[in-house]
């Protein structure tokens, strides 16, 4: 059955194998990931709080990621 349909009180996370939460709510979900925006470990760009420190790999300007750059690729 689906996790959302589970009636067990003690659910176990498929991500960290700890009880009490589902993998989509796991606090360790992004622990080993590196943010594509700021370069810090522990989160991904869509939840980054340091957006002003991002350096675009396309235009080398700050404040946005290369995937949202409006300047020509190059």
Residue 25: predicted pLDDT: 81
Apex 39 CA angle, 34 and 42, nearest 5: 40
Q: Do residues 67 and 57 touch, judged by C-beta distance below 8 A?
A: no
Residue 7: predicted pLDDT: 66
- Residue in 21, 17, 18, 16 with CA at minimum distance from that of residue 3: 21
CA distance 25 to 19: 12
What digits encode the pLDDT tens for the residues 39-51?
899 888 888 899 8
What digits encode the pLDDT tens for the residues 21-73?
888 888 888 888 898 888 899 888 888 899 888 989 899 999 998 888 999 98
Helix (H, G, I), strand (E, B) or coil at 25: helix
**Domain chopping of the chain, boundaries:** 1-27, 32-65
Residue 46: predicted pLDDT: 84
């Amino acid at each position: 059955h689906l996790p959302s349909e589970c009636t067990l009180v003690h659910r176990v996370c498929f991500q960290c194998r700890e009880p009490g939460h589902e993998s989509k709510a796991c606090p360790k979900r992004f622990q080993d990931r590196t943010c594509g925006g700021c370069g810090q470990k522990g989160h991904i760009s869509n939840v980054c709080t340091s957006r002003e420190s991002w350096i675009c790999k396309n235009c080398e300007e700050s404040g946005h990621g290369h995937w949202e750059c409006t300047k020509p690729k190059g």
